Amino acid sequence: MHDTIPILYEDDAILVVNKPSGLLTVPGRGPEKQDCLIKRLLQPFPNARIVHRLDQPTSGLVIIALSHAAQKAMGHRFEKREIEKSYVAVVHGLVSETEGEVELPLICDWPNRPRQIVDSDNGKLALTRYKVLSYDTENQSTRVALFPFTGRSHQLRVHMQAIGHEILGDQLYAGQLALEASSRLLLHASQLKFLHPISEQELEIHSPPPF
């Protein structure tokens, strides 16, 4: 099964792989949710360890540690926000500002989990910067680059919804028009820039979106 997972970078310490849309990063609850990225990688890489996750419908770059030391070092880099991440998304409507930021605190909507909601009183800090890449006036959509400063669950999806531009194909947050515009969530983790956990060499990995 691992041959379905493209490996974009590999050495003794880490892998950077391209997760397809629709595949869980780690197992979920129930027998139907056991197939996932880490299980597919454990056969060829028995020491593979999760460092971070992407939502099931999101595609793109995921860092996999191949040792405890690498996992610990990369975990610290994520905690300290030393990993530069960028995504590409296609959102509903024509975004008026060519670039900007969304700073809205987020919290889990417990009665409707895993949904997240904006909550100014109890939410945790969440900051997303965005930049318009192109407009599709015929289909009334905008291709944007998204740069999460924080890494809250569903952050990019909720922030774009909050400013009136849901990501196309988002089954949790999109309205009917945006949902029907795509059979998958049009969100892709397209770039990672970070220091290697062992050598501390700077790495920059790119993955063009498949949409």
Half-sphere exposure of 165 (CA within 13 A, CB side): 24
- Sequence-separated (6 or more) residues with CB below 8 Å from residue 166: 91, 92, 157, 160, 173, 174, 175, 178
109 counts as catalytic = no
Produce one character per residue of 77-95: b if its CB has 16 or more CB atoms within 10 Å, e if not.
Answer: beeeeebebbbbbbbbbeb
10 Å Cβ neighbour count for 24?
18
SS3 of 99-139: the string is: EEEEECCEEECHHHCCCEEECCCCCECCEEEEEEEEEECCC
Q: Are 63 and 75 in contact (CB under 8 A)?
A: no
Tell me which of 3, 11, 12, 55 is the catalytic residue. 55
Tokens linked to 53: 């996750």
Tell me the catalytic residues. 55
